[in-house]
Amino acid sequence: MSVGILAHLQGKMPFKELAAKTAANGFSYVQLALAKAISDVDSSLNKLSPGMAQEVGGAFAEKGVRIAVLGCYASLVDLNDDVYRHNVDRFKEHLRNARHFGAPIVATEVGGATDPDRRAEHHERLNRAMEEIVEEAERWGVTVGLEAAQGHLIDSAETLAETLERFPSSCVGVVLDPCNLMNPARFDNQDHTIREAFRLLGPRVVSTHAKDLRREPNGSLKETAAGLGELNYPLFFELLERYKPHGFVTLEAVSEPQMQEAARFVRAGRSAARNHQHT
C-alpha cells in the first residue's frame, strides 16, 4: 500500500534534491506546496509556467515520485481586497499549471473569519472565490480539494458538505483529514465524527491526510504523528477502503525521525482494512 508525505516536512531545498530525498525516504507521492518546499524556484504570483512545472514535475517523475496534490494554502475569505485578490489569483494560477506538474488536485483550507462580527461578509467572499475557482478548474480539468480545519470558515464535515451542495461541480472534491474535524467535544465521540464525515463526504474524497491526536491532561488536543495518538485509525482505514480504495494518504505532522514508523503504520493499517474488506 502506498503512502505519501507533505513534501516540505523533509525540509526546503532545491527541487531535484527534494525529489531524490522523497524517493530515498520511500514515499511514492507528495503533496507539494511550492513556496514551502522548493528553494531554487520562484513560485510567487505570475511566475508559474508550463516549462517550470514540467521541470519540477519531471524531476520527481524521474525518481518514481508523483505529485499527487499541489498545496496552495491561502485564505479565500480575507476581507482585505488586495490580499483576497492575490490569493484567488494564485490559486487559479496553480489550477492552470497543475497538469504540467502531473498533479490532478490543487488543495486548500479556506481561511478563518478574522472578524467574527463579519461572518456574513467572509461567507460572501468564499462564495465569490469559489465561483471563480470552479470555473477555472472546469476549464483545465483539475480538481479543487477543499479541506476542513478547526478555526476556519469550513471547520466540519457539515460545513464542507454545505459548500459542496452550493458548488456541485465534479471538479470540487474533499481532502479529508479526520483530525482536522475534531475538537475536544467531537473527539469524545470520534467514531461518530469519522462515520459522519464519510457519510456526508465519502463519495467526494480525493485525498486524505494522516496525523494523530492525543488528549493532554488539561483536556486540549495535541497533534502528533500517525500511530502515536488516540485516533481510531482502524475505523478510518476501513471506511476509506470502502469508499475510496487506493486513495491518496499523505503523512502530516511528522518529524523526520518519525517518518518511517508512521509510514509503516499507515501501510499496515490500510492493508489490514483491505484484507478485511475481502473476507
Task: For the chain, 279 residues long, give each residue's pLDDT as a single digit of tens.
Answer: 789 999 999 999 999 999 999 999 999 999 999 999 999 999 999 999 999 999 999 999 999 999 999 999 999 999 999 999 999 999 999 999 999 999 999 999 999 998 889 999 999 999 999 999 999 999 999 999 999 999 999 999 999 999 999 999 999 999 999 999 999 999 999 999 999 999 999 999 999 999 999 999 999 999 999 999 999 999 999 999 999 999 999 999 999 999 999 999 999 999 999 998 876
Rounded to whole angstroms, the Cα distance separating 90 from 72 reads: 8
Q: How many CB atoms lie within 10 A of CB 47?
A: 11
Q: Residue written as cell 480539494?
A: 145
Contact (Cβ atoms closer than 8 angstroms) between residue 204 and residue 239 = no
Contact (Cβ atoms closer than 8 angstroms) between residue 79 and residue 122 = yes
pTM to 2 decimal places: 0.97
The confidence score (pLDDT) of residue 24 equals 98
The confidence score (pLDDT) of residue 276 equals 85
Q: Residue written as cell 514540467?
A: 54
The confidence score (pLDDT) of residue 83 equals 98
pLDDT tens digits, 54-67? 999 999 999 999 99
Cell numbers at residue 235, please?
A: 475505523
pLDDT tens digits, 139-192? 999 999 999 999 999 999 999 999 999 999 999 999 999 999 999 999 999 999
- Give 31's strand partners: 6, 69
pLDDT tens digits, 191-207? 999 999 999 999 999 99
Cell numbers at residue 1, please?
A: 500500500
Burial of residue 68, with CB atoms counted within 10 A of its CB: 0-12 exposed, 13-18 middle, 19 or more buried: buried
